[in-house]
């Protein structure tokens, strides 16, 4: 076994080996589960258990008592070298890590994020993945997602492109949850993909019994083997630990600070419900595996402003962005797509300078309609691009991407209005807004 130091002594004191069923008693809680193997560089203060409910948890041993319940006939989670594990009958799924809480599935020390991310680490924590696919793991970088920025979108897109080019039948991208929906939108525009590209993450690190990491990663690998060849987000569907929803990467938003079912399809239904064992399509209108050729369009413009409108906002904020050489502006307006009429002159100025200005709504649900009220009509006359039912965050990402593709403001306006990756939904259903 790879346990060492105190953890090794703790296990050996009760003649326990990896794969054995044990009961661990702590002053406030008792766990029963199977002892899992550890990462090679793990500390010696924790052991890892796989609980009945499928969760893997790290248990701090200093105040713990351990008891053998049942000897594993042989170590059940004996991890073979990845090369040897390849099953020609199974699809090949690449897991790319960019960092975030989900990367801590491989580290049971509280709060810390493991700097490395290999298939070995991942499979040690989730041996069930080997039943779904041959897994290859790769860490692109390791950052908290609040620090993501457009140049990292490009790096991520290139890494995914590389994996698909190398023959992956699907790619899972492990990502922090804070800005996952910005990055999933970015890759939706940058990539044409013949295979699934599935973003996933975790709201709770796997050292907590309530961690969502294990189910999310298993469902994501399952989704990566599916027929849905789009950039998607796969996260807990409900507060229960039963299934995930697969959301279109341009129609999803983090809607709760801490809940595991924080990601919600907005102005759309989830594409599918996913369990580790299978996938149930909820929305038939998706791009099928193999229908697109692989293509990467990874140029982005970083000088794009994303401005929330509010009562009292000064037009000088927009003016400042123009003076600083920003090349595009996305406004998160109010209601049907409004902002104070004091902003209209500077918006017209931006338009006349060739800086596209796009309008979205901070309502998030529903559709911008700038023909209903006079403010909207005046904004249209000033050249504002109405973004239909696009999320504000998606419109911002799209503007960065569009201005990477063209220098022509007219063309940029046209591209903003065109549905490129499912970001504009022509149909609207009352089922889209549950409140």
The one catalytic residue in 50, 251, 254, 398 is 254
The answer to whether residue 178 is catalytic is yes
Positive or negative, the CA dihedral 111, 114, 117, 122 is negative
Do β-strands 272-275 and 278-281 pair in parallel, antiparallel, or remain unpaired?
Answer: antiparallel
Please, which residue, 52 or 302, has the CB nearer to a second copy? 302
Please, which residue, 68 or 282, has the CB nearer to a second copy? 282
CB of 433 to a second copy, least distance (A): 5
The one catalytic residue in 98, 118, 156, 177 is 177
Please, which residue, 134 or 184, has the CB nearer to a second copy? 184
The answer to whether residue 262 is catalytic is no
Which are the contacts of 298, defined by CB distance < 8 A and separation ≥ 6?
154, 157, 158, 161, 190, 404
Positive or negative, the CA dihedral 416, 419, 422, 423 is positive
CB of 349 to a second copy, least distance (A): 18
The one catalytic residue in 17, 43, 44, 178 is 178
The one catalytic residue in 20, 37, 101, 360 is 101
Taking the C-alpha atoms of residue 233 and residue 220, their distance in angstroms, rounded to an integer, is: 8
- The separation between CA 319 and the C-alpha centre of its own chain, rounded to angstroms, equals 34
Please, which residue, 129 or 339, has the CB nearer to a second copy? 339
Strand partners, 92: 134
Residues interacting with a second copy, by CB under 8 A? 111, 144-150, 152-153, 177-179, 182-183, 239, 254-259, 261-262, 264, 302, 304, 306-313, 316-317, 320, 324, 332-342, 361-369, 372-375, 393, 396, 400, 430, 433-435
CB of 405 to a second copy, least distance (A): 17
CB of 358 to a second copy, least distance (A): 14
CB of 177 to a second copy, least distance (A): 6
Positive or negative, the CA dihedral 361, 366, 367, 370 is negative
The answer to whether residue 177 is catalytic is yes
Which are the contacts of 303, defined by CB distance < 8 A and separation ≥ 6?
324, 325, 326, 327, 328
Please, which residue, 78 or 299, has the CB nearer to a second copy? 299
DSSP-derived secondary structure letter, 338: B
Taking the C-alpha atoms of residue 138 and residue 118, their distance in angstroms, rounded to an integer, is: 6
Closest of 356, 361, 362, 358 to residue 330, by C-alpha: 358
- Pair of tokens at residue 7: 């953890």
CB of 257 to a second copy, least distance (A): 3
Please, which residue, 2 or 365, has the CB nearer to a second copy? 365
Phi, psi of 257 (to 5 degrees): -65, -35
Catalytically active residues are 101, 177-178, 254
């Amino acid at each position: 076994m790879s346990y060492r130091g105190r953890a090794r002594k703790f296990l050996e004191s009760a003649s326990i080996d990896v794969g054995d069923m044990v009961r661990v008693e702590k002053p406030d809680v008792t766990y029963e589960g199977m002892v899992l193997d550890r990462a090679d560089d793990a500390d010696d203060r924790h052991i890892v258990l796989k609980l009945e409910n499928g969760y893997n948890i790290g248990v701090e041993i200093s105040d713990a008592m351990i008891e053998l319940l049942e000897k594993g006939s042989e170590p059940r989670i004996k991890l073979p070298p990845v090369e040897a594990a390849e099953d020609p009958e199974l699809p090949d799924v690449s897991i790319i890590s960019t960092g975030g809480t989900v990367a801590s599935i491989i580290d049971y020390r509280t709060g810390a994020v493991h700097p490395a991310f290999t298939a070995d680490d991942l499979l040690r924590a989730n041996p069930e993945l080997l039943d779904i696919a041959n897994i290859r793991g790769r860490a692109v970088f390791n950052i908290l997602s609040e620090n993501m920025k457009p140049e990292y979108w490009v790096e991520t897109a290139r890494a995914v492109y590389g994996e698909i080019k190398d023959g992956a039948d699907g790619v899972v991208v492990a990502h922090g949850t804070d800005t996952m929906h910005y990055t999933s939108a970015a890759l939706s525009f940058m990539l044409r993909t013949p295979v699934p590209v599935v973003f996933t993450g975790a709201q709770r690190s796997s050292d907590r019994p309530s961690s969502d990491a294990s189910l999310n990663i298993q469902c994501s690998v399952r989704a990566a083997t599916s027929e849905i060849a789009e950039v998607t987000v796969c996260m807990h569907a409900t507060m229960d630990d039963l299934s995930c929803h697969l959301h279109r990467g341009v129609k999803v938003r983090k809607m709760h600070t801490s809940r595991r079912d924080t990601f919600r399809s907005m102005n759309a239904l989830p594409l599918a419900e996913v369990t580790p064992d299978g996938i149930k399509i909820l929305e038939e209108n998706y791009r099928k595996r193999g229908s697109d050729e692989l293509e990467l369009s990874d140029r982005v413009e970083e000088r794009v402003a994303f401005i929330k409108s509010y009562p009292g906002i000064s037009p000088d904020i927009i003016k400042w962005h123009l003076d600083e050489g920003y090349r595009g502006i996305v406004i998160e307006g109010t209601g049907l797509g409004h902002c104070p009429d004091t902003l209209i002159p500077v918006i017209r100025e931006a338009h006349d300078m060739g800086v596209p200005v796009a309008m979205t709504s901070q309502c998030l649900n529903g559709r911008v309609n700038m023909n209903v009220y006079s403010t909207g009509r005046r904004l249209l006359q000033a050249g504002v691009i109405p973004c239909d039912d696009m999320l504000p965050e998606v419109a911002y990402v799209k503007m960065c991407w569009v201005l990477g593709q063209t220098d022509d403001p007219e063309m940029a306006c046209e591209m903003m209005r065109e549905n490129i990756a499912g970001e504009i939904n022509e149909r609207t259903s009352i089922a889209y807004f549950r409140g």
